[in-house]
């Protein structure tokens, strides 16, 4: 039985903790409920917003349409082509971290570096989430999505998702056309663990671990994240607010002359990825607080709401940061978070 609520506060449903209202709000835990909601007059007459964990979203105003909260749950392991490989299928309404924990309990490797990323399973492929050297696309098998205009379920392969750095076709050409229903990953019992990211190695050494298990890597990632990133349950935030910018090698050489200690990572043959957090820190923003919101003290890429801030205030802060990084380094930052 579905219920469509009116003038509904979205505060508990976005990790920034912004208090705006949706004109209508409804939850679905299976396809029948989703269809019922989409056939309602509220859905027919208004725009839709599908919410997963609300962890990559900045709400700057009331939403004058229908918010659909995906609560489809369930996870299963399916043997794949070899004795070592397994498909893990999860419905989109599960928390991503619960899927990571489920996989580790099955002794399956591949997503342990993405432990503790807030948000839902359905949102993970949408922006190709990633951390500590691994992205969803590295373990992605397929996903099922509900086409809003036809009510048909379509299976998307990795190629069809057009994954990029924090990008997929669902943020671009197919934006608002599909609702992700389930995600299937290909994981392995004997996959090599990815501990190349310096901080993971340091953390494992600190714990005296030489031959880490899947869970050891997950624990190391959890410790690093807890030390650097604010917990959205305590301080409102949406993780990295900006993407790490990619610039040409020629532009990078000029910057390197002026700032010899600038961190950089290779990105294809002719480009270099910069650390947006470093640029923002150098521009003087790290730890800056403006009344009840600001820039996190341990990670300048994260904007925070200490409680009661307006989404538009945080947006304006992001605009100021963008401008000052541009005038200092000539580099244009791009927001990672979806603005509504």
Residues forming contacts to ligand EPU in the complex (CB under 6 A) are: 131-132, 228, 239-240, 243-244, 263, 275, 277-278, 281, 286, 299-301, 336
- Shortest approach of ligand EPU to residue 276 CB, angstroms? 6
Altogether, the residues listed in the chain come to a count of 340
Has 33 been annotated as catalytic?
A: no
Tokens representing residue 120 in the block = 């839902």
Q: Catalytic: which of 33, 42, 103, 166? A: 166
Q: Which of 66, 62, 59 is nearest to 38 (CA)?
A: 66
Q: Which is nearer to ligand EPU, 48 or 243 (CB)?
A: 243
42, 94, 112, 336: the catalytic one is 336
Nearer to ligand EPU, 145 or 295 (CB): 295
| 225 is an active site residue | no
Question: One of 120, 182, 240, 318 is an active-site residue; which one?
Answer: 240
Beta carbon nearer to ligand EPU, 77 or 315: 315
Burial group, residue 281, by CB count within 10 angstroms (0-12, 13-18, 19+): middle
- Report the DSSP pairing between strands 63-70 and 48-51: parallel
Q: Quick one: how far is CA 72 from the chain centroid?
A: 19
The least CB distance from residue 5 to ligand EPU, in Å, is 30
Nearest to 54 by CA among 63, 46, 64, 45: 63
Q: Which long-range contacts (CB under 8 A, 24 or more apart) does 226-232 make?
A: 226/116, 227/298, 228/298, 228/299, 229/296, 229/298, 229/299, 229/302, 230/296, 230/298, 230/302, 230/304, 232/15, 232/16, 232/17, 232/55, 232/118
> What is the smallest separation between the CB atom of 212 and ligand EPU, expressed in angstroms?
17
Of residues 198 and 208, the one with the C-beta less far from ligand EPU: 198
Q: How far is the CB of 310 from ligand EPU (least distance, A)?
A: 22
- Buried b / exposed e along 195-231 (16+ C-beta atoms within 10 A): bebebbeebbeeeeeeebebebbbbbbbbbbeeebbe
Is 336 labeled as catalytic in the residue annotation?
Answer: yes
Residue 15 or 142 with smaller CB distance to ligand EPU: 15
Minimum CB separation of residue 292 from ligand EPU in Å reads: 21
Active-site residue set: 166, 240, 336
């Amino acid at each position: 039985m579905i219920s469509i609520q009116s003038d509904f506060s979205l505060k508990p449903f976005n990790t920034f903790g912004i208090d705006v209202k949706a004109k209508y709000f409804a939850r679905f835990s299976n396809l029948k409920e989703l269809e019922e909601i989409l056939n309602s007059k509220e859905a027919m007459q208004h725009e839709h917003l599908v919410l997963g964990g609300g962890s990559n979203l900045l709400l700057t105003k009331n939403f004058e349409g229908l918010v659909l909260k995906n609560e489809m749950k369930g996870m299963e392991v399916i043997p794949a082509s070899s004795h070592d490989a397994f498909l893990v299928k999860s419905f989109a309404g599960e928390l991503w971290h619960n899927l990571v924990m489920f996989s580790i309990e099955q002794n399956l490797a591949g997503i342990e570096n993405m432990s503790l990323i807030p948000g839902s399973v359905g949102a993970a492929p949408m922006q190709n989430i990633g951390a500590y050297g691994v992205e969803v696309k590295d373990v992605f098998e397929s996903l099922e999505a509900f086409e809003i205009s036809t009510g048909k379920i379509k299976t998307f392969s990795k190629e069809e998702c057009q994954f990029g750095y924090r990008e997929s076709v669902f943020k671009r050409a197919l934006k608002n056309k599909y609702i992700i229903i389930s995600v299937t990953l290909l994981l392995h019992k004997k996959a090599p663990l990815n501990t190349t990211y310096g901080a993971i190695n340091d953390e494992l050494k600190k714990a005296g671990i030489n031959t880490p298990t899947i869970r050891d890597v997950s624990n190391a990632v959890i410790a690093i994240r807890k030390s650097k990133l604010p917990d959205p349950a305590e301080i409102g935030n949406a993780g990295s607010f900006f993407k790490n910018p990619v610039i040409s090698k020629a532009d990078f050489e000029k910057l390197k002359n002026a700032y010899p200690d600038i961190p950089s990572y290779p990105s294809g043959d002719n480009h270099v990825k910069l650390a947006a957090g470093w640029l923002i820190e150098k521009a003087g923003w790290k730890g800056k607080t403006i009344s009840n919101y600001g820039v996190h003290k341990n990670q300048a890429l994260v904007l925070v709401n200490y409680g009661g801030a307006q989404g538009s205030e945080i947006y304006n802060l992001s605009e100021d940061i963008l401008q000052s990084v541009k005038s200092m380094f000539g580099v244009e930052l791009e927001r990672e978070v979806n603005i509504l």
